[in-house]
Amino acid sequence: MSNDFVVLKGIVKRYKDITAVNDFDINVSKGEFFSLLGPSGCGKTTTLRLIAGLDCLSGGSISIDGRLVSDPTFFIPPEKREIGIVFQDYALFPHMTVFENVAFGLYGQKKNQVKNRVNELLFLTGLNGMDKKYPHELSGGQRQRVALARSLAPAPKVMLLDEPFSNLDAELRESLRNETKQILKKSDTTVILVTHDQEEAFSLSDKVGVLNEGKLEQVGTPYEVYHNPSSRFVADFVGKADFVAAITEGDYVVSKVGRFQNNKNYCLNVSNVELMIRPDDVTIEADSNGEAIIEDMLFLGSDVLYKLRLADNITIHSIGLSAFPLAKGTRVNVSIHMPHTVFFPVSE
């Protein structure tokens, strides 16, 4: 029961000759933080608009809290769906103060009630004392929090976040991300976030759905999506990955970089596969007789990304700590430990 608070069933959205959303199901439980992750044009924003009621469905159905809100013949308008939304550009009302912005969705309630609720939210979002300011007097981070407070005010059943952090600089983005997560957890709201940033999706969400060209590729916890991607696209899009030619041999997958247990229990008819290797599965050790050589090294701050050339011209990457980086040209021993053996049939 708690697993189907927001239910998207076989949803389809077609514009003239483009199918933006192509027939998939998503279930989001109550209180869950769900992210729709994908490259631009994958249909994630369209999905969000369909849930919000800013677009009509061409097929399938959407229900929220057990109530059908949209199918091709039935449509509850957005203002009646009890959904909050934070847009990428925040869309604050420029002619209203922070107080008036937050109070906008509390229309029809008693003055005292409105005042208490607004103050409560301003406190929650750390905006106390800002109530008389106008949006143009606020910083980017403050605006984002006003947008959050404003959509939380009517206590919506579902909060939709449309890339709400993309207009902020890197440092602010990270702190605000954590803050937002805390605020939303405290208010126990079901959240659906749309983003193209996997780090954002992973750090915030309980579950992630990866979209590509209108199709849902995978739904799972961040761990599952990262370590056990269900398609070549997910493996590629989420994090860095190298693919090495391999063949299946009974319970094993054999490649030039090693032999791994087929714990995914694929019953593949094909024997030619590509084995996915994540840089964090690969550890290296300097050894003058090592089988690999560091071809290139990318300093990333806390980490270092090594590009390794193995025998037979196979290239894989490895990530290591940056305190004592190994120099380019160093010979190394490579060991690969993978929690899951992930491989895909060779694409034609």
Partner 1 sequence: MIRLFQKLPLSFFDKDKRPYGLLSILMFAAVGLTLLPAIVVASSLFEPSFEVWAHLWDTILPQMLLNTFTLLISVSVGTLVIGTTLAWLVTAYEFPGKKTFKWLLVLPMAIPAYVMGFLYMSMFDFAGPFQTFFRNTVGWQGTFPQIRSGFGAIVVMTLVLYPYVYMLAKAGFEGQSASAFEAAKVLGASKLKTFFKVALPLARPSIAAGVALAAMETLADFATVRYFNFPTVADGILRVWHGLMDLGAASEMAGMLAFFSLLVLLSEQRLRSGKAYHQTKGKNQGVPPIFLSGSKGLIASFICGTVFFAAFGLPVLQLLYWAILEISEITPHALAVYGRLAFRSLSVSAIAAFFTVFVALFIASISRLGTGKFSRYLAKASTVGYSIPGAVIGVGILIPLSALDRYIINIAGNLWGIDLGLIFTGSLIGLVYAYVVRFMAIAYGSVDSSMDKIPPNTVLAARMLGANAFRIIFKIKLPLILPGIIAGAVLVFVDVMKELPITVVLRPMSYDTLAIWVWQMAAESLWTDTALPALAIVLVGILPVWILMRKSKND
Which strands form 292-299's sheet, in the order they lie side by side?
Answer: 282-286, 331-336, 292-299, 303-309, 315-321
Q: Which is closer to partner 1, CB of 82 or CB of 303?
A: 82
The answer to the question of residue 75 lying near partner 1 (CB under 8 A) is: yes
CB of 175 to partner 1, least distance (A): 24
Cβ at position 105, least distance to partner 1 in Å:
3
* Contact with partner 1 (CB under 8 A) among 10, 25, 80, 333: 80
Rounded distance, CA 24 to CA 10, Å?
A: 5
Quick count: other Cβ atoms within 10 Å of Cβ 317? 19
Residue 77, strand partner residues = none
Strand partners, 345: 273
- In the complex with partner 1, the residue whose CB is nearer, 72 or 329, is 72
Determine which residue in the list 15, 93, 123, 223 makes contact with partner 1, applying CB under 8 A: 93
CA-to-CA distance for 141 and 258, rounded, in angstroms? 48
Whichever of 82 and 213 has its CB closer to partner 1, that residue is: 82
Rounded CA separation 34/302 (Å): 28
77 makes contact with partner 1 (CB under 8 A): yes
Is 110 an interacting residue with respect to partner 1 (CB under 8 A)? Answer: no
For tokens 């922070």, what's the residue? 98
Structure tokens at 171: 């440092």
Q: Which stretch binds partner 1 (CB under 8 A): 32-40, 77-85, 224-232, 327-335?
A: 77-85
Nearer to partner 1 by Cβ, of 155 and 245: the residue is: 155
Position 56 contacts partner 1 (CB under 8 A): yes
The answer to whether residue 104 forms part of the interface with partner 1 (CB under 8 A) is yes
DSSP reduced 3-state for 167: coil
Is the CB of 54 or the CB of 247 nearer to partner 1?
Answer: 54
What DSSP string describes 306-331?
A: EEEE-GGG-EEEEEEESSSPPPTT-E
Least separation in angstroms between residue 93's CB and partner 1 is 6
- Smallest Cα–Cα separation from 239: which of 290, 276, 185? 276
Select from 38, 43, 60, 105 the one that contacts partner 1 (CB under 8 A): 105
With CB under 8 A, what is the number of residues at the site for partner 1?
Answer: 27
- Our CB check for partner 1 shows the closer of 96 and 346 to be 96
How far is it, in rounded angstroms, from Cα 51 to Cα 81? 9
Choosing from 17, 79, 188, 312, the residue that interacts with partner 1 (CB under 8 A) is 79
Contacts with partner 1, 139-178, as mask; x by CB under 8 A:
-----------xx-xx------------------------
By C-beta, is 103 or 176 nearer to partner 1?
103
CA dihedral (276, 279, 283, 287) positive or negative? positive
CB of 69 to partner 1, least distance (A): 13
Residues 18, 162 contacting (CB under 8 angstroms)? no
**Dihedral sign (CA 148, 150, 153, 155):** negative
> What is the sign of the dihedral through the CA atoms of 168, 34, 234 and 221?
positive
The residue from 41, 87, 97, 124 that contacts partner 1 (CB under 8 A) is 87
Note the residues at the interface with partner 1 (CB under 8 A): 52, 54, 56, 75, 77-80, 82-85, 87-89, 91-95, 104-105, 107, 150-151, 153-154
